[in-house]
Amino acid sequence: MATLTRPRTAPAHASPKGKVRSRDGLWAAFFLAPQVIGLIVFLVVPLGFALVLAFMKWDGLGNQSWVGFDNFAAQLGDPEFGRAVWNTVKIALITVPIGLSLAVLIAVGLNSIKGGNFYRVLYFMPVVTSSVAVALIWQVILANDENGVLNTSLKNWFGITAPDWLGSPQWVVVSIAVVTIWSSLGLNVVIFMAGLQTIPPQVFEAARIDGASPVQIFRRVTLPLLSPTIFFSTIVAVISSLQAFDLIYVLVDPKDNEGAQTIVFRVFELGFQKFEFGMSSAASILLLLLTLIVTLVQFAAQKRFVHYDS
């Protein structure tokens, strides 16, 4: 680092302001260089390349040609892509509202008892566990054979013949949602607990003195004051749900069950199994557009539902 240490040679009569400025530009460049160069090389260039690829037909070897919007048209007209979009949306529609509602309730509960940290640790354990391990554990629990503890227990104890959770295209969506909720619940709980702690206790005190019931306090005080945190978590949860891959890919092999084929799986399959790079890029850009639209809609909706302190 010695080469970067500039001797202070500025003569006394030079304009100090101009000197400092030009030097600051260099320092800024130096401090920013690693992240900015990395951003350009590993994000901006590949993103530009993806945009170009989406309008090309290319198998990764020699043959490449411009095809205009054909890749997009092909994906949008492909019933398999439509099914992937529908599966993705279904999983998000179950996971996000149920997962976040449970997390809010648990966070409010934990905030109002002593010894909450013990539970907090318990609920957080799946968050630090790799999604591959989570998927494997649940694969064994949900298996539809004599080793699947859930279905065998339901049968032995209650005489219920349960569905094939991972094998049926309808139920697999529910299974994916349940496992996703289980693995992300703890993170949302601690985020909401942190959000609750930013609310001044006097607010609750005042509501209690005015004779509000716990349910009224929850609906009229807690929820509105927590709404900025809920909004932020909803955005994050929706995006990660639309882009989910690891857990699903290990839990159910999407090749065996069309219900587990999501948009990201299509991108992966087209790119890395069929080597149709143009199609894969087009599908991924459609996913990006879906993400952007859904996020913008949420930002538009927040004006009605989110309460900000003035």
Q: Which of 101, 153, 213, 216 binds another protein (CB under 8 A)?
A: 153
Give helix 70-77 / helix 79-111 axis angle, nearest 10°.
70
Helical ranges in the chain per DSSP H: 16-39, 45-53, 70-77, 79-111, 116-128, 131-142, 149-158, 169-197, 201-209, 214-217, 223-242, 246-251, 263-272, 277-305
Beta carbon of residue 181, minimum distance to another protein (angstroms, whole number): 11
Report residue 209 as tokens: 């003195």
Contacts of 243 (CB under 8 A, 6+ apart): 264, 287, 291
Binding characters for another protein, 41-60, by CB under 8 A (x = yes): -xxxxxx-xx--x------x
CB of 144 to another protein, least distance (A): 12
Q: Which residues are paired to 64 by β-bridges?
A: 58
Nearer to another protein, 47 or 203 (CB): 47
When the beta carbons of 66 and 272 are compared against another protein, the nearer one is 272
Three-class DSSP labels, 104-129: HHHHHHHHCCCCHHHHHHHHHHHHHC
Which residues ranging from 200 to 259 are in contact with another protein (CB under 8 A)?
214, 229, 232-233, 236, 239, 242-243, 245-246, 249-250
Residues 98-137 that bind another protein (CB under 8 A): 106, 109-110, 112-113, 117, 119-134, 136-137
34 near another protein, judged by CB under 8 A: yes
Write each residue from 163 to 202 as x if it is in contact with another protein (CB under 8 A), else as -, in one continuous string: -------------------x--xxxx-xx-xxx--x----
CB 18 → another protein: shortest distance, Å?
13
- Cα-atom radius of gyration of the chain, to the nearest Å? 26
